[in-house]
Structure 1
């Protein structure tokens, strides 16, 4: 499609905006935790990415997702399962849990509630928790590190994750 436009700040003539996407279209990741979000992911998505679900909630919802895929005549492998979780990582497990308790308090939650859906601990405990999600079928993780205390803490978290956690998952 060829378009033209002119206004106070710009003008363009005969611009082709119909080139489209080259190659395969990008995958569509559908977010949401509700039953209707699960149905939308199964119907329209290439992946389902809920936010802040515990292992138990994944265990409860993945069969619902697979049942919806089956109802639509799609194989379970047609949809990737992803996570979006907070990451609180430190070499000292007690420091990680103390920061998680502070964050939970800031959110008006109990620490055990927050830790139910966040990855909190030292590198080995984080790797073990990721392995538990993997065992349920989660294949991609989006980890939020914005809950750190400072830029230095963030850089330390990223370094620990890349050097120690990623090597073992």
Structure 2
């Protein structure tokens, strides 16, 4: 089921376990297993979650490893694994650092994922921020913004319906090379991640959706206004799917310290707070739950789908 600007407020989540930055990972994730990941994905599939997301880093330098950790699963492999244990939930890269590789290679990987999953891919892309990662792979870190712009254009061509896609740009050109299987979707949605002025502009003029990174909910209205202004100035009539990352959540009254930023309480309280995102013009929210073990996370997801989600559009 696609996420549409005209539809009700959708909700999805960044998967735990597959990335374990100290900014958000729970202690239990360090010892989690692929079976835990599959159970969490299955819960999302049956609890009305619109998507599951996996992010990307190829390698973390020692200077950042303490904060970021070095646990970052490959998003294509992770989402393909979860495609086999789910039926309806969409599968999103949030975000793929597509400037690290040639767009034909990226297209091959994600077209196959979309084909195997029956058309459930959302390709979220971002510029990246780890210089050593780019240098190790021979990618252009200083010019990564321009590389990403052209890569998005190239991916539009490479993920289209043609068996022999063609593209000619300043950095990339290809033609006469057939790639099957094609994506199951006629048009793979490309959502642009980032909240910098450059990322907002890129989302407005090149994206089908926007995935903010960082910032508070108070900053969202100005950025949404800017997105719409830039999109209108570019003459693009198709609406942009606008997202937001919510505060951490806990459904019910926690018996442990969940942090002062965490929204907790009865379903009605949470839904009332989250509906404010829709009032700003947000179409999909990415939620995250505090938990002490996989079972608690699954219980939180189930409670959100059953008790909070039905109240988001009332």
Per-residue deviation, residues 54-101 of structure 1 (Å, max 9, x unmatched): 2211112111111111221123x5211012335321311xx3893123
Measure the CA separation in 1 of the matches of 2:276 and 2:207. Answer: 24
Contact 2:249 2:287 in 1 (8 A): no
Q: Is the 8 A contact 1:29 1:41 kept in 2?
A: yes
Q: TM-score, normalised by structure 1?
A: 0.70
Flag the structure with higher strand content: 1
The equivalent position to 1:126 in structure 2, one of 267, 270, 279, is 270
Cα deviation for residue 131 of structure 1 reads 0.6
Structure 1 residue 51: Cα displacement: 2.7
Following superposition, the deviation at residue 31 of structure 1 comes to 0.8
| Aligned counterparts, 1:15-164, within 5 A | 17-75=179-237, 78-92=239-253, 95=254, 98-101=257-260, 115=261, 120-122=263-265, 123-145=267-289, 147-164=290-307
Tell me the number of residue pairs that the alignment of Structure 1 and Structure 2 aligns: 136
The offset of 1:26, in angstroms, is 1.3
Q: Is the 8 A contact 2:241 2:283 kept in 1?
A: yes
TM-score by length of 2: 0.39
d(CA) in 2 for partners of 1:124 and 1:53? 25
Distance 1:162 1:19 in 2: 34
Does the 8 Å CA contact 2:251/2:304 hold for their aligned counterparts? no
- Indicate conservation of the 8 Å contact 1:82/1:138, yes or no: yes
- Cα 1:40–1:137 shift into 2, 3 Å: same
Whether the 8 Å CA contact 2:250–2:263 is kept in 1: the answer is yes
Structure 1 unmatched ranges of 5 or more: 3-15, 102-114
Cα distance in 1, alignment partners of residues 205 and 256 from structure 2: 39
Cα offset, 1:18, TM superposition: 4.0
RMSD over aligned Cα atoms: 2.4
Higher relative helix content: 1
SS of the residue aligned with 1:138?
Answer: coil
Quickly say closer, same or farther: Cα 1:152–1:20, change in 2 above 3 A.
closer
Aligned mates of 1:28, 1:128 — CA distance in 2: 30
Q: Which has the larger radius of gyration?
A: 1
Residues 106-154 of structure 1: per-residue CA shift (max 9 Å, x gap) = xxxxxxxxx3xxx611222221122100011111122233x42212221
